[in-house]
Amino acid sequence: MDDLLGAIPSLIHGCTLRQIAEAHPTLVADLKKLDPVATAATFGGLLTDPRVQANCNRIESLVHLATAYCNGRSAVTRHFVSRAFKQIGNGYSGDMEDPSEDVFVSLVNTAGGNFRIFEGIREGTGFHLQRILNIVETMPKTPGYGRIAESIAALLSLSEEIARRSCVRENELGQEIPLYELPRGTANEIALRRSLIRFSDDDLASLRVNKSSLTPFVFDLSDRLNLLDQQLGNTDLERRPVAVTRNEMFVLLPTAIATAITCYVIDFVVATKMTQAFEASLAADIARLFYDTPVLGRHHRAPLKFQRINGGRIAAVMTKADPGRFLHLVFFVDGLEGFRENGLGGFNAAPAALSVAVNEHIKIAAQDACCQAEFKSGITLLVGCGYGRGISCEIENDLPPQWRLELLSAYDLITLSWLSEFDSLSLWRLLDAQEAIAREGLNLLNVNGFLNLVALSRELDGHLVPHGELPRNFSTLGAKSVLLVRQNAIRELRHGVLKVWNPRRVLDPDGRWVKVRKTGESEFEEDRTAPLYGSEEDVAFGKLRGVYVAPRRPWWIEVKGETEDRASFFEHWMMLLIWLRRAAPILDSEYANLKSSPMLIRVNFAEMAGSRQGMPRPKSEDELRALLKVSLKSDSHIEIDVMSGFDDGFAQPENIAERLLVEAIVKGAASRGKRA
């Protein structure tokens, strides 16, 4: 069977700009009278409006057409923009538009902070760009590599500024269904939208962006006719989405910023013959990602060992989901071969080699599992990992008995793994339900992969079929029936998971942007979506730090103490995090005149329950309070010393000890701030 996984390009990709133009001669004739940069920027500004997210295809086509064909001096009007939007919808660009399947804006991070990215046409744009940014961060700190990092930082700064100007939030959803006509509100804002993507020299200076560092992303307008024979999805304008005119810059395709950075890095890697090092770094990043992820509800902590094959690298691991049920995970990391020819609009270079390798892994896994007396069934998940290019693979139809295969992108597996109440056994339940439906004479036509099936099931409270839409006698009709599954059920599911998973960096009191992640799953929506994180980087050094990202400043909390009981140490830290979750937003609001820099609360325990000898001795509130000392190390550093004997209070049912710790935190904040 043939299948595709990964970031699958839109079907319009593969169509040249000239073909689109030939289908719209009247539109092209009108474009020739207009100013090229101003017109392209006017259309490009529409890409910042979530009200037209589902129309990204046609808007990007209009930006390309304006760049290639405009050759006059006339100003573009809102009436023309509305008419062009409607005209180009009646053709390739409109026909290939689908309902939106992902968020409008995602978040990526570097050692310089967090940056909002316009997702554009592709799914998981931010996810795949993060892989590239992680690799760049590991590059040597030499002048050559430094220039690459500087250029990327400059373009990311423009992306973040456009998002700020547009007032769009990270992980925000836009318009779900493609529109036939441009909304009146959007048409009336074309001048404003154009200004959102315009940068003067003063704007760049205020952003601390060196104009020359953007040179790799500047489109040469003298080459604009070359766009005509290029395929959308792999054009020079997507690789260089910035136009320069007089003393201004325009980001003509804000939705192509991730594409531009990816192509810039890969082109450099290919030109310097560093492809093997890049692929090894990408595989290592994927291995780290899944090592730190509770894959389908459990931490396997099995390091992925990738082996080179033609076209990329492959690794596999098998675990028991339940007695007799085996989950086999096969990860494929896409290589760079063929990238220069088709860019992100293409597919992996050697699908046949991938097919052979996957089939062999399945046979070996099935043999190992079937030898065990308890064997009932197995599932292989083929996980496509890469940098945003589509992945193609052909799998043999004759799978081993009691063995099934599903295909997922790494982005989708991460989504499933952070999905509440979904684990590896959920795979069996869902696939069993799908097969049961098929036996009743109904085939589900689901064109958008396994994650979409999961989303549908959750929408229907665990079912796969909306019973009210079926004829009463559908199972007795004799012939097979087909039910088309809504293709973008994944939209809300991805949005919900991103709000919880939400990887980012947070500025700490030392001025470092620290990688953080959610501290764990919660049954309560309020806790799951709270901006409370644990530091990834500090764990490697034996430290436990957490942070609550409040509107005015981050509130960091760190626990210190001498104990060999790591479980007790962790419990003390989690207890402090729970109270930080409740206290930080109130303190941040009430003491508004505190310094805007990050606050640090360090709690030093002289002893912990795991290191204490003997039974706890009950103490009064005054006795426990006397064992707490609050001091201020700086305007943004509160130190709380917890003396020996205080831990006895945690064993008392009145919960006095925790209340007094919160009181100490409030006391420290109050000593440096005045209530608003």
Q: What is the mean pLDDT of residues 512-528?
A: 74
Least confident residue range of 165-169, 191-195, 474-478, 597-601 = 474-478
- The answer to whether 393 and 351 have CB atoms below 8 angstroms apart is yes
pLDDT at 653 over 80: no
Q: What pLDDT, on a 0 to 100 scale, did the predictor assign at position 311?
A: 93
Q: What is the mean pLDDT of residues 297-315?
A: 87
Give the Cα separation of 332 and 14 in Å (integer). 25
Q: What is the mean pLDDT of residues 418-441?
A: 87
- pLDDT of 228-281, one tens digit each? 999 998 999 999 999 999 889 999 999 999 999 999 999 999 999 999 999 999
Tokens of 526: 């309020």
Q: What pLDDT, on a 0 to 100 scale, did the predictor assign at position 367?
A: 93
Give the Cα separation of 366 and 383 in Å (integer). 18
- pLDDT of 557-588, one tens digit each? 999 887 667 888 888 888 999 999 999 999 98
pLDDT at 523 over 80: no
Residue-averaged pLDDT of the chain: 88
Quick one: which of 459, 450, 529, 467 has its CA closest to 492? 459
The DSSP letter of residue 423 is -
pLDDT at 611 over 70: no
Q: What pLDDT, on a 0 to 100 scale, did the predictor assign at position 655?
A: 81
Q: What pLDDT, on a 0 to 100 scale, did the predictor assign at position 173?
A: 95
CB atoms inside a 10 Å sphere around CB 138:
11
Helix (H) or strand (E) holding 320: strand 312-322
Q: What pLDDT, on a 0 to 100 scale, did the predictor assign at position 78?
A: 93
Q: What is the mean pLDDT of residues 653-664?
A: 87
Tokens of 340: 């220069």
pLDDT at 23 over 70: yes
Q: What is the mean pLDDT of residues 21-35?
A: 95
Least confident residue range of 65-74, 116-125, 396-405 = 396-405
Residues 6+ apart with CB under 8 A from 313: 279, 280, 283, 306, 307, 332, 333, 335
- Which H, E and C letters describe 47-92, residue by residue? CCCHHHHHHHHHHHHHHHHHHHHCCCCECCCHHHHHHHHHHHHCCH
As to burial, measured by CB atoms within 10 angstroms (0-12 exposed, 13-18 middle, 19+ buried), residue 428 is middle
Q: What pLDDT, on a 0 to 100 scale, did the predictor assign at position 613?
A: 60
Q: How far is CA 473 from the centre of its chain?
A: 44
Q: What pLDDT, on a 0 to 100 scale, did the predictor assign at position 2?
A: 43
Q: Strands 390-394, 403-409: parallel, antiparallel or unpaired by DSSP?
A: unpaired
- The answer to whether 279 and 167 have CB atoms below 8 angstroms apart is no
Q: What pLDDT, on a 0 to 100 scale, did the predictor assign at position 236?
A: 96
Q: What pLDDT, on a 0 to 100 scale, did the predictor assign at position 12?
A: 41
- pLDDT of 367-413, one tens digit each? 999 989 899 999 999 999 999 999 988 877 788 999 999 999 999 99
620 phi/psi in degrees, rounded to 5: -75, 170
Give the Cα separation of 668 and 676 in Å (integer). 16
Q: What pLDDT, on a 0 to 100 scale, did the predictor assign at position 522?
A: 56
- Which H, E and C letters describe 444-472, residue by residue? EECCCHHHHHHHHHHHCCCCCCCHHHCCC
Buried b or exposed e, range 18-38, using 16+ CB within 10 angstroms: eebbebbeebbebbeebbbbb
pLDDT level of residue 536 (50, 70, 90 thresholds)? confident
Least confident residue range of 32-46, 151-165, 177-191, 483-497 = 483-497
Give the Cα separation of 546 and 557 in Å (integer). 5
pLDDT at 644 over 50: yes
Q: What pLDDT, on a 0 to 100 scale, did the predictor assign at position 610?
A: 55
Give the Cα separation of 466 and 111 in Å (integer). 47
Give the Cα separation of 157 and 159 in Å (integer). 5
CB atoms inside a 10 Å sphere around CB 634:
12
- CA-to-CA separations, 383 to 60, 328, 391, in angstroms, rounded: 30, 11, 10
pLDDT level of residue 591 (50, 70, 90 thresholds)? confident
Q: What pLDDT, on a 0 to 100 scale, did the predictor assign at position 476?
A: 47
488 or 522: which carries more pLDDT confidence? 488
